Structure 1
Amino acid sequence: MTAMWCAVQGSFCYEARMAARGRVLWLTLLPLTALAVLLALSSPAVAGQDDPAGRIGTTVLVVNTFATAGLGVALAGRLNQHSAPGLAEVLDTTPGGGTTRLAGVLAGALAVALVPVSAVVVVIGAAVSIRSGTAAPLAYAVLGVLTVLVPAAVAMTTFAGLLGLLMPVIVARVLVVALWFWATQLSPSFVPVPSPTGTVLSPLGGYPAVAWLGARRIWAGRGLDGVLSPAPGSGAAVLNVVLVLVSAAVFFFAARLLTAWRADRHPTQDGALR
């Protein structure tokens, strides 16, 4: 257990440093986060809400829409860097094995990426709390980070990492953005294309935002009927969070199986590393 924890901790710290030093993360994440903040502060649909809680709930969804897409673009190549023939075999010899190391790799990069996004939401929550004279908006902001941003970011990170293993990283970065907006914004009620948007399968977090953060009803259900589009409530919100995290686990273990398969398919050659 100690060796496993040390492996996760070591991978986490190393990847956190590498992510913080990398330019791709900041060049993609910060502009999109700034765009989300601009929209949240200027859009009448957000800033015009009288209810402070509803304003924070909608702000969290706007930030999640754009910042998480940037997070996926930035982190699409993290796992690919560790699966090169030869390097993967060397890393597999470290304490803890491939699964714990993979978890540390993703968690370290994700933690760094979430810092500015979470900070933006909390600062807006604090500002609204000061204006409204109540601490409720700040509490809603923290709750939004935990129930909306974190599950979406975990799912996006694992999914982007998996795509980066399956195809060239530049293609994965383009595809991950398209699939993110397909799963969060493309409503079948407007465009006749099947989409998880508005359902409990959507990683946007519309159900928690509506049920717990006071966001507008449009973010959950989108006028759809069926088992996957229940009425907003605590039960549906919990189900949404659980399903998003389950999808993240599926993506993670698929990536782990793929890296293990690559290692078996490309064994270390004597002349290559000796």
Structure 2
Amino acid sequence: MTLIGLARTHSRVARRQKALWFTAIPLTAFATLLAAISPARPGTGGIEDLAFSGQIIAILTGIAYAAAFTDFFTASAELGMHELEASTPIPGGLLRTARVLGAFSVVIAPAVAVLLAMGLVQTISGHPWSLPGALAVTATVVAPAALIAMALSGVAGALLPAALGRIVAVLLWFFLIFSSSLLPLPTPNGTLFSVIGDAIVTGWFGADPMYPASGPLAFDGTPLGAAVSLVLQLVIVFALLLAGSWLAERTRKR
């Protein structure tokens, strides 16, 4: 079976998670409304608005994904599927990649639909590059954040009991996306490691960041800085996926 075929199978499995839809779709809708009425909205009617909306969607839907994927790495063992997977001639790396792609294709669908709809409205209003811009924002801002939230949830679920892992994953997500002077803890916000895409929207889309650049690892608002930030986020995703797979495999062997 090809990677695409395996990913489709895992996509069908993910689509059956009603709890995911009941949280992701309302949160996407709420994020869209919040982005539309927020006084911080750029209001240019162009890609800056798309970038801002993509950030709000990434922040809020990440809460749903952090809560929904605690069994991401352990589900196959709980359902007895790991023995079947181990007996197939398909490499383990291909199976894990298909599992990620299948679930991700479901996770990203609401954001793609909303941003493309916004891009279409902007195109009709005279901004011809808005549809490509909507896809670019989805790929560079929303997608990495969603993958980090999913992988973070899966690692928490592999380390802890499901209920506790869900709570821990959501709390960690809030730590990653919010900064406050009331809690003077170092966070990735304002740096190249920001998971809400500040370095990317400033460097590639000309939008203002939600948090100002700060610290020795501050982003500089350049296209190169945006590229470095995106690569760092993808490295984090890869590291979390590897850690989650290793923890799940180690647990199965006990």
Note whether the superposition's TM-score is higher than 0.5: yes
Equivalence for 1:260: 249
Tell whether 2:139 aligns with 1:146.
Answer: yes
Matched-pair identity in %: 28
Maintained 8 Å contact 1:106/1:158 = no
Equivalence for 2:36: 41
Shift of 1:100: 2.0
Runs of 5+ unmatched residues, structure 2? none
Q: Which moved more, 1:29-38 or 1:255-264?
A: 255-264
Classify the secondary structure of the residue corresponding to 1:196: coil
For 1:260 and 1:122, the matched residues in 2 are separated by: 39
Maintained 8 Å contact 2:191/2:213 = no
Shift of 1:83: 2.5
Equivalence for 1:163: 156
Find the partner of 1:176 among 162, 169, 173. 169
Classify the secondary structure of the residue corresponding to 1:91: helix
Maintained 8 Å contact 2:61/2:146 = no
Maintained 8 Å contact 1:211/1:237 = yes
Tell whether 2:214 aligns with 1:224.
Answer: yes
Equivalence for 2:191: 199
Maintained 8 Å contact 1:72/1:177 = yes
For 1:180 and 1:120, the matched residues in 2 are separated by: 23
For 2:136 and 2:38, the matched residues in 1 are separated by: 22
Name whichever structure is richer in helix by fraction.
Answer: 1
User: Could you tell me which amino acid in structure 1 is paired with residue 113 of structure 2?
Assistant: A
Task: Report the structure number with the largest CA radius of gyration.
Answer: 1
Maintained 8 Å contact 1:85/1:263 = no
**1:10–1:164 Cα change, 3 Å:** farther
Runs of 5+ unmatched residues, structure 1? 1-5, 266-274
For 2:209 and 2:13, the matched residues in 1 are separated by: 40
Equivalence for 1:21: 16
Shift of 1:17: 0.7
User: Could you tell me which amino acid in structure 1 is paired with residue 242 of structure 2?
Assistant: F
Tell whether 2:234 aligns with 1:245.
Answer: yes
Give a deviation string over 1:180-225, Cα, whole Å, max 9, x none: 12112225x5631111112111221111111112221444xx2413
Find the partner of 2:90 among 68, 91, 96. 96
For 1:87 and 1:53, the matched residues in 2 are separated by: 44
Maintained 8 Å contact 1:182/1:197 = no
For 1:60 and 1:155, the matched residues in 2 are separated by: 15
For 1:122 and 1:86, the matched residues in 2 are separated by: 39
